[in-house]
Structure 1
Amino acid sequence: MAARMFLRQRAAPVATGALIAGIALFPKTSLQAEAPDSRKPIYDDFESTPTPPTPTLPSSEPTRTPTKSTSPTPTDRLAVQIGKTRLFLQAHVAAAEEKVNQFMDSALHLEESFTSTIASLAPSPQSGEKLMPGSLYVLVAAMTGSIVSRNRNIFLRATVPVAVGIGAGWVVLPVTMRNVSDLIWKYEQRFPAVADGHVRAREGVERAWRMARIHTQQVVNVVDEKVGAARGGVEDWVKKGK
């Protein structure tokens, strides 16, 4: 036992010295493998030339590409139907909107035409004609004609108030009646037959009025002559009586 411990104590310094000597003698640079010699050998007469690749001729058979199925899928058919429905609805909505716009334009045009027509019937301020008392006078004249013709036949009861009212209008409101007459004539010109009948009726009335005035003047002249002759005879008789 004592000999073993003695050997361990003697072996420890020896191992330590061997380790130190090995570290000192170990080379610090690592050995590198020799690179292969890239120099050309002097005994090679020629280098081996690489053989060019032989061109390959294209095959005469056409290449077959995989064909896809051209039949539409249910999704495609649904998309087409939805597109057609949208175009159909869009066209009808646009047509309905156009109709509404045309109706509104016509209504506004009609309203503007009506207001401008009513305003054109009023007399100008320079004429000095007033509608309010004149309209009342015309209404009273028409009612008077209705009262006068109440015991007559139906034709007179229908025409006399209108004739009296129109006559009173031409007397009391001449400018307004002229405007109304021009407006009626403008609308009558759209119907040539009505306008022609109106012209003939007016010419007949004017001719009758002219003839009536002529005959009235003739009657007045005859009466004046008769009255003058009678007065002359009376004066002569009075003179002879004296």
Structure 2
Amino acid sequence: MAFRSLMRQRYAAPLAATLGAAGLALYPRRYVHAEAPPSDDDGVERRPIYDDKPSLYPPPESSPSDNPPPPSPSTSSPTPTDRLTVHIKRARLFLHGHAVVAEDKVNELMTSFLNLESSFTSTIAGLAPPRESGERLLPNGIYVLVAAMAGSIVTRNRNIVLRASVPVAVGVGAAYAVLPITMRNVGDLVWTYEEKYPALAENHIRIKERVQRFWETGKAHTAMTGAMIEDKVSEARGAVEDWVKKGK
């Protein structure tokens, strides 16, 4: 019994220490604070290593005296290099602006020339007669030139008015005779330009009416002259026949 009690007293203290250490490790009742090296600022709050909550005290604000003022701009005058740079910049901008304006003017001029050329070629192509009409420009145009030259030859010994007007009239008449579709297209084109000037358009209409009236009058007189000639021929034929009958 004495030996048993002695053994209990010998192993009781280490067992109690082991159980106490295990209890503290499994169920801690206090937080363990991390040790920090000593610092001059004693007002900084120490936080435990297991605490995730933010601090209740805001960080100290820095005073305006801590921030150095911004450096003041230099008030020194520009150097000759800076002034030369400014002048070169202005000269380059001036030349660039004038070069752009000149380029735009050249582009506008070339565009107007191209539009004029396209309009001229399309207008000339529109004057030609269609292929299905059977009208040809080459031989018929030569006939018109020959007729105008014949009118000039006929009036070479006349006054200046006849020498200037008769070839034109003969040529225009021949053109209307051998190139009717082309002359109608030319007349429509001339009329589109004459519509821009009312006085010229009125004169054109007046001259056209006079020419038509002269043409119709000439046709009527020609028909009357033909009828009179036929009557005279028939009368002469009857008289010859009567004379022949009497002679028999």
| TM-score band, normalised by shorter chain | 0.5 to 0.7
Amino acid across the alignment from 1:132: L
DSSP 3-state at the match of 2:87: helix
CA distance in 2 between partners of 1:138 and 1:91 (Å) = 57
Correspondent of 1:205 among 194, 211, 216: 211
CA separation of 1:187/1:67 partners in 2, compared to 1, >3 Å: closer, same or farther?
A: closer
Correspondent of 1:78 among 64, 71, 84: 84
CA distance in 2 between partners of 1:51 and 1:179 (Å) = 110
Higher Cα Rg, which structure: 1
RMSD between superposed Cα atoms in Å:
3.6
Q: How far apart are residue 120 of structure 1 and its match? A: 1.1
Q: Count matched residues.
A: 184
Query: Please, which moves more after superposition, 204-213 or 101-110?
Result: 204-213
Give the share of equivalent positions with the same residue, in percent: 52
Q: How far apart are residue 113 of structure 1 and its match? A: 1.4
Q: Deviations along 1:194-214, whole A, 9 cap, x unmatched?
A: 222111211222233334445
Residue equivalent to 1:194: 200
CA distance in 1 between partners of 2:42 and 2:126 (Å) = 111
Verify: 1:136 aligned to 2:142, yes or no: yes
Q: Deviations along 1:185-233, whole A, 9 cap, x unmatched?
A: 1222232222221112112222333344455556666x379759967x9
CA distance in 1 between partners of 2:163 and 2:225 (Å) = 31
Residue equivalent to 2:122: 116
CA distance in 2 between partners of 1:216 and 1:201 (Å) = 22
Residue equivalent to 1:107: 113
Amino acid across the alignment from 1:68: S
Residue equivalent to 1:69: 75
Amino acid across the alignment from 2:112: S
1:80-99 alignment, distance < 5 Å: 80-99=86-105
DSSP 3-state at the match of 2:135: coil
Q: How far apart are residue 108 of structure 1 and its match? A: 1.2
Residue equivalent to 2:161: 155
CA separation of 1:225/1:74 partners in 2, compared to 1, >3 Å: closer, same or farther?
A: same
DSSP 3-state at the match of 1:123: coil
CA separation of 1:137/1:228 partners in 2, compared to 1, >3 Å: closer, same or farther?
A: closer
Q: Deviations along 1:65-85, whole A, 9 cap, x unmatched?
A: 766315333222222211111
Amino acid across the alignment from 1:162: V
Residue equivalent to 2:186: 180
Please list every run of 5 or more consecutive structure 2 residues that lacks an aligned counterpart in the other structure.
1-40, 44-62
Q: TM-score, normalised by structure 2?
A: 0.61
CA distance in 1 between partners of 2:64 and 2:126 (Å) = 95
CA distance in 2 between partners of 1:120 and 1:187 (Å) = 15
